[in-house]
């Protein structure tokens, strides 16, 4: 048979495993992953989050079990959330010296100095009303919240956090936090901004894990409308101008168009947050035997890289590291 010039033979580059791996464009590496952890107040606690099989709330005294595993798997960065016993109107637990994130950070940096601690900077896990800022006249007060967020960031840096990750979606948080960090002498601590964060139903399981469900209303006056794209670009642009060092897009899976847009518009590292609901959906299907978990997770995360994510925050980090090490 003669060569047919009328069509291209794309299958040439798919002919074998070696050929496919030679021509593969995107890869997920353990070094790209950030593993979120929930530090709960109390003693001798390691309890599985019911809606997130395989994810645990861990007390300070049992943190080492998790850290040892993470370290052995080669995971280089973790994202810390605190789950305190006491909450109040101001979210005081977020910025006190012996807060959950601050204590955990100190312990981690002492035992495992090479693991990067990313501190989530928000008030919702610490406020009695569950909102990400302070409430005035029934609404979250932007500028009053900024002061507390800046205080939170500085206390986290003081405890030894390597990266500050504000997730509260108040306007101006990057400016305020950058200024406060600089004034306190932390000019070298980068800000990983949750620049683009949608008001998403995919956060449901996280709110169980972090005990941070709003007690009234919703987060729609500060988190973004899932219908909007240009708004995401405005958010990313202003965070860059304000001095963000990394840009997070959250959630990831249903917002890969936004990951690509943000990547195309900025030269900062882009971080996709593969959120709790995205994790739980896969786990539920896997536990039912309906999908191949490993293949599906690798496909999902590779798609995030293809969309332009440089880094991925994911509850699958430990699983992925295991699979990659095999
Ligand atoms: C808010 C915050 C949220 C998540 C991380 N930080 C969500 C929210 O309740 O608005 C969600 C993460 C996830 O779903 O995995 N400070």
Find the distance separating the first CA and the last CA of the chain, reported in whole Å. Answer: 43
Q: Extract the tokens encoding 198.
A: 């949608």
What confidence tens digit (pLDDT) does each residue in 205-220 have? 998 888 889 999 999 9
What confidence tens digit (pLDDT) does each residue in 169-183 have? 999 999 999 999 999
Would you state the pLDDT for residue 211?
Answer: 86
Cβ proximity of 127 and 87 under 8 Å: yes
Query: pTM higher than 0.95, yes or no?
Result: yes
- β-bridge mates for residue 192, sequence order: 246
Question: How far away, in angstroms, is 29 Cα from ligand 1 center?
Answer: 24
Q: Which atom of ligand 1 is nearest to the CA of 207?
A: 9
Residue tagged active-site, from 76, 250, 300, 305: 250
Residue tagged active-site, from 76, 87, 151, 197: 197
Q: Which atom of ligand 1 is nearest to the CA of 210?
A: 9
ipTM of this complex: 0.95
Domain ranges of the chain: 27-325
Q: Which atom of ligand 1 is nearest to the CA of 167?
A: 16
Q: Is 305 a catalytic residue?
A: no
Average pLDDT over residues 140-165: 97
In this structure, what DSSP letter does residue 171 have?
A: T
Give CA torsion, residues 290, 296, 300, 303, to 10 deg. -130
Q: Is 85 a catalytic residue?
A: no
Report the relative pairing of strands 311-314 and 270-274 from DSSP bridges. parallel
27-325 topology per CATH: TIM Barrel (3.20.20)
Would you state the pLDDT for residue 3?
Answer: 63
Question: How far away, in angstroms, is 21 Cα from ligand 1 center?
Answer: 36
- Element housing 22 (H / E): helix 17-22
Cβ atoms within 10 Å of 303's Cβ, excluding its own: 17
């Amino acid at each position: 048979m003669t060569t047919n010039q009328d069509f291209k033979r794309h299958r040439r580059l798919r002919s074998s495993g070696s050929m496919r791996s030679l021509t593969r464009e995107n890869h997920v590496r353990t070094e790209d992953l950030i593993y979120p952890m929930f530090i709960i107040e109390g003693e001798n606690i390691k309890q599985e989050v019911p809606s997130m099989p395989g994810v645990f709330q861990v007390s300070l005294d049992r943190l080492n079990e998790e850290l040892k595993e993470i370290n052995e798997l080669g995971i280089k960065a973790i994202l810390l959330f605190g789950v305190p016993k006491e909450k109040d109107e101001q979210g005081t637990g977020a910025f006190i010296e012996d807060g959950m994130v601050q204590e955990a950070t100190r312990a981690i940096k002492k035992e495992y100095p090479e693991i990067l601690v990313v501190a989530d900077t928000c008030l919702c896990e610490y406020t009695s009303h569950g909102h990400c800022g302070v409430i005035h006249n029934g609404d979250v007060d932007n500028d009053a919240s900024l002061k507390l967020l800046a205080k939170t960031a500085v206390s986290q840096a003081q405890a030894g956090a390597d990266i500050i990750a504000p997730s509260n979606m108040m306007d101006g948080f990057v400016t305020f936090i950058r200024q406060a960090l600089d004034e306190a002498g932390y000019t070298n601590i980068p800000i990983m901004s949750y620049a683009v964060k949608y008001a998403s139903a995919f956060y449901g399981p996280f709110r169980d894990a972090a005990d941070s469900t709003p007690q009234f209303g919703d987060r729609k006056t500060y988190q973004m409308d899932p219908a909007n794209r240009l708004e995401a670009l405005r958010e990313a642009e202003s965070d860059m101008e304000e001095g963000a060092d990394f840009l997070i897009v959250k959630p990831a899976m249903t917002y890969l168009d936004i990951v690509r847009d943000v990547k195309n518009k900025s030269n900062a590292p882009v971080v996709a947050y593969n959120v709790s609901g995205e994790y739980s959906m896969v786990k539920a299907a896997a536990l039912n035997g309906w999908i191949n978990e490993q293949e599906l997770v690798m496909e999902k995360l590779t798609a995030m890289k293809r969309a332009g994510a440089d880094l991925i925050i994911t509850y699958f980090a430990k699983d992925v590291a295991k699979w990659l090490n095999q």
